[in-house]
Homo-oligomer: A and B are copies of this chain.
Amino acid sequence: MASGHPLALFLRSLERRSPLSEDDRRAVMGLSFTLRALESSSYLVREGEAPKRCCVLVSGYAYRQKLTADGGRQIVSLHIAGEALDFQNLFLDVSDHSVQMLTNGEVADLDRAQVQNLSRTRAGVGQAILVAILAEGSMFREWVVNVGRRDARTRLAHLLCEVAVRLEAQGLADEKGYALPMTQDQLADALGLTSVHVNRTIKLLEAEGLMMRKRRNISFPDLQQMRRVGDFNERYLHLGRQRSAEAR
């Protein structure tokens, strides 16, 4: 990762939506943690288990998933470097989903009790965590819409736009493209499709000149057009500073 401190990106992601005082910042950066290198597909959280740690993704990608009785898998969110992976479980006893690494990467394990404590004692940090949780909730809602009411082409385009915009907001991608380290199987599970159909849909977008691939790198010649095709409006990402959170 570019930045020096493993938690630097995490701090940035918190601050982007909710203001932190100098003290808040120090408190976050002062959190004790252990850095772990993880292989792709290792588990960070397992459905049915009690969350013990509070992980922050330092580098690489991760995703949340749930399984169905008949062996189906649904990916319900993707995560990029700097995002906390356990806010959704921070105050719940048993995890309702699993979190896995999508790529190799590093994770900073924070102490759960310490984070809980910080969120209670430092109002600014608590607010930032809350806002992060709410923004994640909003992304889940959009994911429902994507999977429930859009056709394959729109669905795929939407997902690609979401990742592009989030990476850019986090300073991890430039306008023109990024590496998408997902197999078509994983894309399928994120989109509620089969990998065969994902493959055909990718080909379709390429044929239309909407996206290009070189290895696992994808780029969009015309991001605006891609947004239109993907019915993508970033409002649901709540990327800006939330003023509601400032009132003290």
**Residue of B93, B127, B140, B235 touching A137 (CB-CB under 8 A):** B140
Closest chain-B Cβ to A28's Cβ sits at a distance in Å of: 18
Residues in B with CB closer than 8 Å to A216 are none
Q: Is the CB of B123 within 8 A of A92?
A: no
**Residue of B116, B123, B134, B240 touching A90 (CB-CB under 8 A):** B134
Interface bits A69-81 vs B (CB < 8 Å: 1, else 0): 1101110110000
Chain A interface, DSSP helix/strand/loop, else mixed = helix
Determine the distance from Cα of A222 to Cα of B192 in the docked complex, in whole angstroms.
30
For A87, the closest partner residue in chain B by CB is: B134
Q: Is the CB of A74 within 8 A of B116?
A: no
Kindly state the interface size class of chain A when it binds its partner.
35 or more
Q: Copies of this chain, how many? A: 2
Interface bits A84-100 vs B (CB < 8 Å: 1, else 0): 00001111111011000
Say yes or no: A238-B96 contact (C-beta < 8 A), given A123-B120, A244-B91.
yes
Candidate in A133, A134, A150 with the most chain B CB atoms within 10 angstroms: A134
**Residue of B77, B138, B149, B231 touching A88 (CB-CB under 8 A):** B138
Closest chain-B Cβ to A240's Cβ sits at a distance in Å of: 7
A182 interface hit (Cβ, 8 Å): no
Q: Is the CB of A138 within 8 A of B96?
A: yes
Candidate in A70, A131, A138 with the most chain B CB atoms within 10 angstroms: A138
| A residues neighboring B (CB under 8 Å) | 18, 48, 64, 66, 68-70, 72-74, 76-77, 88-94, 96-97, 113, 116, 120, 123, 126-127, 130-131, 133-138, 140-145, 147-150, 189, 191-192, 231, 235-236, 238, 240, 242-245, 247-248
